[in-house]
Amino acid sequence: MLPFIFADTRMAPAGVRAIGSAMVDSGFPKTRIVLQQWNKAFRPSQMQLDGRIPDLFMVSSMGLHSERCMELIRDARRIDPAHRPLIIAGGPHAVYQPYDLFSANPDDPMGADVAVTGEEFVLLSLIEVLLSLRADGESMRSAFFRAKASGALDAIPGLVYPRGDHDGVPEELIDTGIQRLLGDLDELPDSVHGYRLLESPSGHATLASRAISADRVRKLSPISSVVLTFGCKFACPYCPIPAYNQRQHRMKSSGRIAEELYRLNKEYGLRYFFGADDNFFNNKSRTLDIVETLAKANFDGVDLRRKVRWHTEVTVHDTLQMKDHLQLVHDSGCRALWLGVEDMTATLVNKGQSVDKTTEAFNRLRSAGICPMPMMMHHDSQPLYSRKGNYGLLNQIKLLRKAGAVSLQVLMMTPSAGTKLYEQTFTGKQVINSAGGKPVLPSMYDGNYVVASSHRFPALKQLNMLIGYASFYNPIRLLTILLGRKTKVSHKAAGMQLVGMYGLLQTIRRTAIWAARLTFGKIERLTESPSSAIPMRSVVKEETACHSPVNVTITLPKKKRRMMSLPVAG
Ligand code: B12
Ligand code: SF4
């Protein structure tokens, strides 16, 4: 669906590639990365690598993919315990809601053996401890059980593991604490390794004898997501990112970034990169260092900027801080920037944006040949259209269009675990449990479905998003762009119209039935936020687990209360 159309199948995610790279870098080249979107029929219970069941089965998931994640874990647990791999769960869902990866249902005790609530070095520390304890010929799973019984895992912050019967419902979950973050991202393993481990797309339940060859990478995954920086100086209350990064802005050095793009291009012919940044322009001097290096970088006698194009996420505020250097940003290979505009009037959230500032930032980006790609949030108190002022959704989309937006993202504010406002969205009875008898599934927490709203007619919110998209992506606008004045980015705007119209049809197809259920069905709401069904504690018996949910009471000024009560992710 919009706005992520093609990003699912044409962009192998960085998280699993990073884990794969870390495994290869540490001497475990017999690792395979299987993407659900390419290998829907894959069954862990049938996997074999080099004729034997692997020692480790790892699964990575965002919150919205958690159902499929649990299905895979359940299937892996079908393997006879004598040969069963150690099951490790990780990724954003494990970071924010690790307790969800364990089952409290005695009829279906299908949890992971351990959840990693951190990054690659937490996993490597775990493997290191297990290998140091493992006897000759002993399985990793058996070494793990001994390690946890001896307390050897408790010194690795960033794990949640169950205590009790190995195959039954855990008695309790032990949380070893918040991960220690890697500060210098240059220490990360080379991301080139990960691509070599990808399983070829297929309809088979089993693994192929070989991973994909280097020459197929570009065709299957033409856009490459790369880690450049992490973190953001803002602290929007609906966003979990600053807290996840422990308020740090972490980055790779400019030299390392240039080298990595060059190597990915050389090895696989990759040309298009998407930075996994939260706010790439977060720090002006550091940004300038990166873009200057990329603009000058020359490998094998060829300028890097002629070979690669990169794109990432920034804020309006920081784009204006960089306004005198946007040409340099373009010359370093940047061709599009996604900007969290959220609400141009800054009524919903103020991070230094306004109509004038957004317009200025967009104009400057376009003049420099960089496509401005705004991301907006629709919320309960925003009308579809307002007669006076610019508060309405359509008013703002019109302004963005005039300011030169090349694409558009409109998502509904949706509860996001790890944010300050998460719990009270549930206790405030805004979160929908089911509509017309259809339960809200984790996969519907993607911002495209209205799953939390105190509006009298939540279906209207669903409809508003579609109308908003249709006012931006439509044949008339495509014609206007084609026949209008040619600018540095107008051909890209025309291309985005085609993608957008196709995406809109998919979005209508996927969300229309939900809108109907919201309109005609009975809406049932949740009153409590998700929590661990299994008792959870820290390694010190009396202390609460860091990753167990807490209730935070936040009092906002009356005017903002209604708008701010729905946190969003992304
Ligand atoms: C790029 C990105 C996207 C791209 C992804 C394109 C692609 N195919 O890769 C696009 C734009 C499509 C996208 C869309 C969405 N995204 Co997004 N996205 C990101 C972003 C900015 C970077 C992801 C990334 O590549 N990170 C770099 C890699 C290296 O880090 P990583 O994935 O976290 O993996 C590390 C650890 O988690 C861990 N790990 C990961 N897997 C595993 C597995 C094991 C076994 C272990 C041990 C460890 C482990 O180790 C990895 C290396 O350090 C993150 C925020 C962030 N800065 O991470 C959000 C983020 C992943 N997105 C998020 C969300 C919610 C969404 C959306 C639902 C949109 C929305 N409403 O905001 C959609 C969903 C789309 C869909 N249907 O799948 C959330 C997920 C929250 C959650 N609780 O699950 C994040 C974390 C942002 C946030 N709010 O904090 N996103
Ligand atoms: S929403 Fe964007 S600007 Fe706000 S804290 Fe998160 S990453 Fe930063």
pLDDT band at 431 (very low <50, low <70, confident <90, very high): very high
Contacts of 6 (CB under 8 A, 6+ apart): 499
Q: Kindly report the average pLDDT of the chain as a whole number.
A: 94
CB-ligand 2 contact for 94 (6 Å cutoff): no
Q: What is the DSSP letter of 33?
A: B
- Nearest CA residue ID for atom 6, ligand 2: 239
Do the Cβ atoms of 159 and 153 come closer than 8 Å? yes
3-class SS of residue 399: helix
Pairing of strands 334-342, 409-412: unpaired
Pairing of strands 86-90, 56-60: parallel
- Ligand 1 proximal residues by C-beta, below 6 Å: 4, 7-8, 11, 13-16, 18-19, 58, 60, 62-64, 88, 90-93, 95-96, 116, 119-120, 123, 225, 227, 230, 240-241, 276, 278, 411, 416-417, 446-447, 569-570
CB-ligand 2 contact for 231 (6 Å cutoff): no
Contacts of 128 (CB under 8 A, 6+ apart): none
pLDDT tens-digit map of 86-110: 999 999 999 999 999 999 999 998 8
Q: What is the DSSP letter of 360?
A: H
Pairing of strands 302-303, 309-314: unpaired
**Which atom of ligand 2 lies closest to the CA of 351?**
3
Identify the pLDDT of residue 554: 59
CB-ligand 2 contact for 242 (6 Å cutoff): yes
Q: Which two tokens stand for residue 286?
A: 């550091």
Please give the torsion angle defined by the CA atoms of residues 148, 151, 155 and 161, in that order, rounded to the nearest 10 degrees: 30
Residues 474 and 394: their CA atoms lie apart, in Å, by 14
CB-ligand 2 contact for 239 (6 Å cutoff): yes
pLDDT band at 564 (very low <50, low <70, confident <90, very high): very low
**Which atom of ligand 2 lies closest to the CA of 238?**
1
Instruction: Tell me which of 233, 239, 282, 409 to substitute to probe ligand 2's pocket, judged by most ligand atoms within 8 Å of the beta carbon.
Output: 239
Identify the pLDDT of residue 552: 59
Residues in a beta bridge with 537: 174, 544
pLDDT tens-digit map of 399-422: 999 999 999 999 999 999 999 889
Residues 462 and 56: their CA atoms lie apart, in Å, by 42
Identify the pLDDT of residue 203: 98
CB-ligand 2 contact for 279 (6 Å cutoff): yes
Nearest ligand to residue 276 Cα = 1
Q: The dihedral of CA 72, 76, 77, 78: what is its sign? A: positive
Nearest ligand to residue 318 Cα = 2
| ∠ Cα 425 428 432 (to 5°) | 70
Pairing of strands 86-90, 114-116: parallel
Q: Which of 424-433, 441-450, 539-548 has the lowest mean pLDDT?
A: 539-548
Instruction: Tell me which of 279, 312, 421 to substitute to probe ligand 2's pocket, judged by most ligand atoms within 8 Å of the beta carbon.
Output: 279
Residues in a beta bridge with 184: 251
3-class SS of residue 272: strand
CB-ligand 2 contact for 252 (6 Å cutoff): no
pLDDT tens-digit map of 31-83: 999 999 999 999 999 999 999 999 999 999 999 999 999 999 999 999 999 99
Q: What spacing in Å lies between the alpha carbon of 68 and ligand 1's midpoint?
A: 16
Instruction: Give 407's Cβ-side CA count (13 Å radius).
Output: 24
Q: What spacing in Å lies between the alpha carbon of 180 and ligand 1's midpoint?
A: 19
- 312: closest CA among 251, 397, 353? 251
Q: The dihedral of CA 526, 511, 562, 547: what is its sign? A: positive
pLDDT at 565 over 50: no
Identify the pLDDT of residue 555: 62
Q: What spacing in Å lies between the alpha carbon of 284 and ligand 2's midpoint?
A: 16
3-class SS of residue 539: coil
**Which atom of ligand 1 lies closest to the CA of 276?**
22
Q: What is the distance in angstroms between the CA of the first residue and the CA of the last residue of the chain?
A: 15
* Encoded amino acid at 415, one letter: P
Q: What spacing in Å lies between the alpha carbon of 135 and ligand 1's midpoint?
A: 36
Q: Tell the burial category of 535 from Cβ atoms under 10 Å away from its Cβ (0-12, 13-18, 19+).
A: middle
Task: Describe the crossing of helices 140-150 and 120-133 by its angle, rounded to 10 degrees.
Answer: 90
Residues 343 and 422: their CA atoms lie apart, in Å, by 20
Phi-psi label, residue 65: left if phi above 0, alpha if psi -120 to 50, beta otherwise: alpha
pLDDT at 177 over 80: yes
pLDDT tens-digit map of 6-32: 898 999 999 999 999 999 999 999 999
Q: What spacing in Å lies between the alpha carbon of 247 and ligand 1's midpoint?
A: 18
pLDDT at 148 over 90: yes
Nearest ligand to residue 191 Cα = 1
Please give the torsion angle defined by the CA atoms of residues 34, 37, 41 and 46, in that order, rounded to the nearest 10 degrees: 10
Share of the chain above pLDDT 90, in %: 88
Instruction: Tell me which of 19, 66, 193 to substitute to probe ligand 1's pocket, judged by most ligand atoms within 8 Å of the beta carbon.
Output: 19
pLDDT tens-digit map of 315-370: 999 999 999 999 999 999 999 999 998 888 877 777 777 889 999 999 999 999 99
- 448: closest CA among 400, 421, 405, 413? 413
CB-ligand 2 contact for 349 (6 Å cutoff): no
pLDDT tens-digit map of 518-532: 999 999 999 999 999
Instruction: Tell me which of 60, 72, 101, 507 to substitute to probe ligand 1's pocket, judged by most ligand atoms within 8 Å of the beta carbon.
Output: 60
Q: What spacing in Å lies between the alpha carbon of 7 and ligand 1's midpoint?
A: 12
